[in-house]
A = this chain, B = another copy of it.
Amino acid sequence: MVQKSKPPTAATEPKRRGRPRAYEPDVALGKALDLFRKQGFAATSLDDLSTATGMNRPSLYGAFGDKRELYIKSYQRYRDEAGAAIGAVFREEMPLRQRLERIYASALDIYLSGDSGPRGCFTVVTAASEAVGDPEIRAMVLDGLTGLDKAFASCFRRAKEKGELPESSDPLVLAQIASATVHTIAIRSRARVPRKELEAIVKGAIDVMIGAKG
C-alpha cells in the first residue's frame, strides 16, 4: 500500500506538520481517473480505487472525499488535461485544415490510450451517463459540450475572416458538425474501431467542413 517510498518530491514544501503522505495526490488522482474512464462510476469500487492508487480507503476518503467527490475531481482533472491539449492547438497560428487535423489527432490520442483497450472520452462514455441523475455532473458535461462547440466556432469564425472559408458558410453550424465528429469518434473508439478508420472519418468530415467536397 505504498506509492512512493522516497520523501516528497516537490521542492516547495511548506514543512507540513504530521506524518508525511505516502502518496502524491496528483498521481493518485490520475490513477483514479484511469479507472473511472475504463469502468465508469458504478462499476468502480472503492477497493478498485484503493489498489489502483496505492492508498487505502481511509486515506482516499480523507484526501478526496467520498466516491462521488472523487469521481467529480477525476472528471475535472480530465477536462483540465483535455482542455489544455486542445487549447494549445488553438493558440498557435496555422491554416484551418491543419488546425482541425491537429485537434482530432490529439482527441484520438486521448481516446485510444489505455493499457487494457481504448478508453474513449470521459464525457461521452461515463459522465453523460451520470448526467441525467446528477445535476452537478450534468452541469460539467454541458459545460464541456458547449465549450467544445465554442472553441470550434471561434476557430471557424477566424478562418472565415481569413478567407479560408466561403462567405456563405456558417461557423456555428460547422462547429456543431466538428463537435459531432469528435463525439462520433469518441463512441467508435470505445467499440475498438481501429485508428485508421477513425482517421478516415475525420478526414471526410474535414473535407466537408472546409468545402472541398460535400
Contact = CB atoms under 8 A, between A and B. Distances in A.
A71 B192 CA distance: 20
Interface stretch (A13-21, A72-80, A89-97, A118-126): A118-126
Nearest first, the 7 closest Cβ-Cβ pairs linking A and B are A173-B204, A180-B184, A42-B42, A42-B43, A180-B180, A117-B132, A128-B190
Given A180-B183, A180-B205, A183-B184, 7 more contacts: A40-B42, A118-B132, A124-B128, A128-B187, A132-B192, A168-B214, A173-B208
Contacts of A84: none
Contacts of A123: 187
- Chain A interface extent, by class: 35 or more
Contacts of A42: 39-40, 42-43
A176 B191 contact: no
19 contacts: A40-B40, A42-B42, A116-B132, A119-B132, A124-B124, A125-B128, A168-B213, A170-B204, A173-B205, A173-B208, A173-B213, A174-B214, A176-B204, A177-B204, A180-B181, A183-B183, A183-B184, A183-B187, A208-B208
